Every structure is written in C-alpha cells, then in structure tokens.
Amino acid sequence: MDKPFDCKRIQKIGIISKRDLDDKKLVEKLVKYLEKKGKEVFLDQNLAKLLQTGVGLKKEALLSKVDMAISLGGDGTLLKIARRHPRHHVPILGVNMGNLGFLTETVPAKLFQVLDSIFKNQCRLDRRTILRVTVYRGGKKHSTYLSLNDAVINQGSFARLIQIRIEVNQRLVVRFKGDGLIVASPTGSTAHSLSAGGPIVHTGVPGIVISPICPSSLSMRPIVIPDDRQITIHIETERRNEIEFLGLTLDGQESIPLKYGDEIKIRKSHRTLNLIREGSRYYKMLRQKLNWGE
C-alpha cells in the first residue's frame, strides 16, 4: 500500500551494498552528503571494507539501529533483505546498481536528487507483501522461510511430471500433474510467475497468485486468491530413484530440498518490505522494464 512518507524522524541512516560493489567514489560522496545533512551513517561490512573505515555492521545489526536504509545493488540485494531481515520494518531506498532494477527504481545519477526529495517529505512509502512459507514433514513443522517474490516447487532437471494437490483454507482447490507450481505475491507476479503465463497483479492488490508450471491439462490456469487465505500444497508423487531432486526455490535465490509427501503451507506474513519511492511510477516501470504493451 502506497502512502506518504514522513522523514522528520530520520536521523540514523544505514547503507547496504551488494557483495561485489566497487564504486568507491559514489559511496564516499553519499556518506559526505548524509553527514552534511546532519545524519548519523552506518555502513555494512562490504562498504566498511571498501572504504577501509574499520569494521562494518552485519546487515541485521545495521537494520536494528537505523531509521532508514539505502540499498546499493540490484533487485537481488533487496530480495535478500526482504527474506532475511524484514522484522525491523525499516524504510529502504533501493538504488539500482544491477541490471533490470524493477524493485530498485532509483538510478545512481538521480540518487542525490531523490534524497533531496525524501528530506523534503516529497516521497512515498510502498509496503510490499512478504510470503511466509512453512514446510511440514511427517505431519510436523520442519522449517519456515520468507519470500518477497515467490515460492516455486519444481523437479530440477528432471522432466517427469509431479502430482500436486492444492488446498485453500483446508478446502480442495485442484489436483494436477505438471512440472511444478509457483505461488507469488503481487510483487512477484512480474517475475517467474509471469514467464509461466501468470497475470500481472498490481502491488496494491491484496492477492496471491497460484501459477502451474507446464500442466498436463489445458484447462489448468493461474488463479489469484485473496491474501488472507492459507495455501496448502501436497506433494503426492512418489520418486522413482535416489537421484531425483524435488526442491522449493525462494525468490530464485535460495533452494530447499523437499521430500515426496511434504506439505508446504503459504500465507501472507505480517512482515512487509517498506520501499521508499519517488511517486506512483508502477505503469511506467511496466513499460520501461518489461516493454509492456509494445
């Protein structure tokens, strides 16, 4: 949900970067700019090493200390923050130092212009839904994860179909065979789910997308359900040999091995990723980044 962003309380600002960031001049200029504005600046370990300013903070420790964070990297950097360190609810400005930049819409050339707007209360806060993914094994809770974009169940390099049963709030929705399944947030609707034929869902829509991957039935289509529901996914196919791999992939970055017979429960988390934005540019991003409508 998009709402005005009040920056009056912001005094402590943390800077987080991707691991291989090497733009030392930009970081030095950013630190000087923030200090000139009277802000206390905290660096993560990557940037402290880059600037040779002593020991930096781990990302979680940094986020627990600051009122706002600046992420220097690509969408992947933000995805990691959303999965691993979301409980602090710190507003984050994403600066695109990568390729696509669908989440990190601010470019380095306009960074200081955007910061000026932030300190003049001319920006907005965009709260993004995070998915909570819990794996049950043998009827007991095995592990829990968070995902900003999506949770994908697939069989890796094996082409054999797997059978999946989907329930919503313990009611049967469908049982189908296919290559796998994608459960995506509105943010993730423009990622893997879109490639699998799923719909584009505006990030302000309170929904969750369920998209089958290459289903064997032509009638099996993606569906968007309300985000106050719990999705339960049952893996019903028996594996044939020990080398077959079944996995749960989060945001395309983290892979968790599954066993046949596992249950995966997915619902909206109470945690959110809070993005600072210049304004309402969602449709412009679709046109520019995805060539939508061209």
Quote the radius of gyration of the chain (alpha carbons, Å): 21
Quote the CA–CA distance of 66 and 93 in Å, as a whole number.
Answer: 13
Quote the CA–CA distance of 266 and 248 in Å, as a whole number.
Answer: 12
Considering the candidates 2, 23, 44, 75, report the single residue annotated as catalytic.
75
Residue 1 neighbours by CB distance under 10 Å: 11
Helix (H) or strand (E) holding 53: none
User: Is 75 known to be catalytic?
Assistant: yes
Pairing of strands 162-168, 231-235: antiparallel
Tokens of 223: 């569906």
Quote the CA–CA distance of 252 and 261 in Å, as a whole number.
Answer: 23
Q: Which residues are catalytic?
A: 75
